[in-house]
Amino acid sequence: MKNILTITLNPTVDKSTSIDHLAPEKKLRCQQPKFEPGGGGINVSRGLKRLGLSSTAFFPAGGRTGSLLRELLAKESIDNETYEVSGETRENFIVVETATNQQYRFGMPGSEISVLEQEGILNAIASLQPFPGVVVVSGSLPPGIEPQFLREIVRLVKSKGAQVVADTSGDALQAMVEEGVYLLKPNLGELGKLIGKEALDNDSADEAARELITKGKTEVIVVSLGAQGAYLVTKDLTEHVPAPTVKKLSTVGAGDSMVAGMVSILAKGGSYQEMVWMGVACGTAATMNSGTELFKREDVLRLFEWLQNR
């Protein structure tokens, strides 16, 4: 079993509540708020915990919200390593309108991370002992951090002999791919941008993925297809894995759940097919829950069995 590290450069505390109706210019009576740890890599660590695997969540933290984030992770028994920064850790706000079941998500940008703090983050990652075998870099970038900083992280992690799993988007994803990673989880739009094509469909995804693999930019690509499941591409293998049909309540957290599922198999040394089956099972299970909740383990095991025996 390989040790797992998740890196979240723009962590958050997700504050969620519900109201009957959302209306302007009125004092809206909300339900008691719920506070949860958030950010791509942190959610991956939370998902791994539900699957029975331990990981270390690394993130910069600052101020009152940073302290709250550490407390929330401690309550979920998730190991974490933090680098103290001067700015306040961000807080996102989620409101569910119960009359329509519509969800409104207000995402904050986070405080700026200085160049000196970025150097400290790199040094903190480099000093982790024992160094993990699998490192997940997931989520958005905070102000002050340029995409090229991710190349430095990837370079550092690879120099330690670890496998890099990339789950971000835009210029940040492009920078990581330029440096070369082990596993990518783009959607069709993100995959198209990586190879300079405006649009891809299911038929052309295989060709696009193999182009990146041939260039040595990655070894494994799992293209997220949403309700259609996922498309696995390696040097020697191509497989479409359909998503089981379930009653969907919310897609929030489905992507992070999918990564958690795949990493759980990767760390155990399972096959590529098992890795994608577990990823699709976790991502689909997450859509069965409302709000910001991830997935339930019992749903994942049932869906994984269906995918194995289909």
Q: Which long-range contacts (CB under 8 A, 24 or more apart) does 234-238 make?
A: 234/272, 235/210, 237/272, 238/206
167, amino acid identity = D
- Gap between the Cα atoms of 84 and 309, Å rounded: 47
* Residue 207, both tokens: 């060709």
Catalytic-role residue among 14, 167, 256, 299: 256
258, amino acid identity = M
* Residue 138, both tokens: 């997931």
> Annotated catalytic, 79?
no
- Gap between the Cα atoms of 141 and 162, Å rounded: 22
- Strands 163-167, 12-19: pairing is unpaired
Residues known to be catalytic: 256
